[in-house]
Chains A and B, each alone.
Chain A
Amino acid sequence: QQPVQSPQAVILREGEDAVINCSSSKALYSVHWYRQKHGEAPVFLMILLKGGEQKGHEKISASFNEKKQQSSLYLTASQLSYSGTYFCGTKTTLGAAQKLVFGQGTRLTINP
């Protein structure tokens, strides 16, 4: 079942912070975050494997609340290069070859 992302779109000024949420109706084993710029391939950002785990990638970090079956992506002091559509993908078990199910995406626009 497809995870639900919120908000659907965000517009920020450079330097502002943003939070993107990803919720599932099923228990999750892992949450994966990707960013896709217009006309380009989605690019891997990070994976969260454990409940309550937090990871960081430059000024982008994420948390995974296993009990709430949700993950949040935090973008701190946003830069123009952060613009794009962010997708969360989820897996419900560790099983090999399990498909990654993506949310509908959150479009982030950073203005100067």
Chain B
Amino acid sequence: DAGVTQSPTHLIKTRGQQVTLRCSPKSGHDTVSWYQQALGQGPQFIFQYYEEEERQRGNFPDRFSGHQFPNYSSELNVNALLLGDSALYLCASSFGTGSEKLFFGSGTQLSVL
């Protein structure tokens, strides 16, 4: 049983570019949440997707957008990259939006130069 998978594992971009990160949830899960984790900090909630809609959003600008597909996989898009966007981006899946237990992927390490 595959857990949460994210791609790519590492990415290097330059300021102003756009990036797309991908996430496949654990089998049987229908909800995907995205977190940003800066070095030495705890994960910060970006948004959550359920039934192909954004259900909750954290304090992130509109440059951060997402999508969920019918197979429950999800993408995180970041436009007009800033140096401060450099971080580990974690995807977490769960069954239902109220589930208390999250399963995390290993993340995508994004470096913005």
Contacts and interface: CB of A to CB of B under 8 A. Distances in A.
Interface of A: 2, 30, 32, 34, 39-44, 47, 49, 87, 89, 94-105
Given A100-B33, A102-B43, A105-B41, 5 more contacts: A87-B42, A97-B48, A97-B97, A104-B40, A104-B42
Contacts, number: 60
B101 A47 contact: yes
Interface of B: 3-4, 33, 35, 40-45, 48, 50, 55-56, 58, 90, 96-98, 100-107
B45 A101 contact: yes
A104 B104 contact: no
A43 B3 CA distance: 12
Given A97-B56, A98-B56, A99-B45, A42 B100 contact: no
17 contacts: A30-B100, A32-B100, A39-B106, A40-B106, A41-B3, A41-B4, A41-B107, A42-B43, A49-B100, A89-B42, A95-B98, A96-B96, A97-B97, A97-B98, A99-B56, A99-B58, A100-B102
A32 to B, nearest CB: 7
A99 B48 contact: yes
Which of A40, A49, A99, A103 neighbours the largest number of chain B CB atoms within 10 Å of its CB?
A99
A64 to B, nearest CB: 13
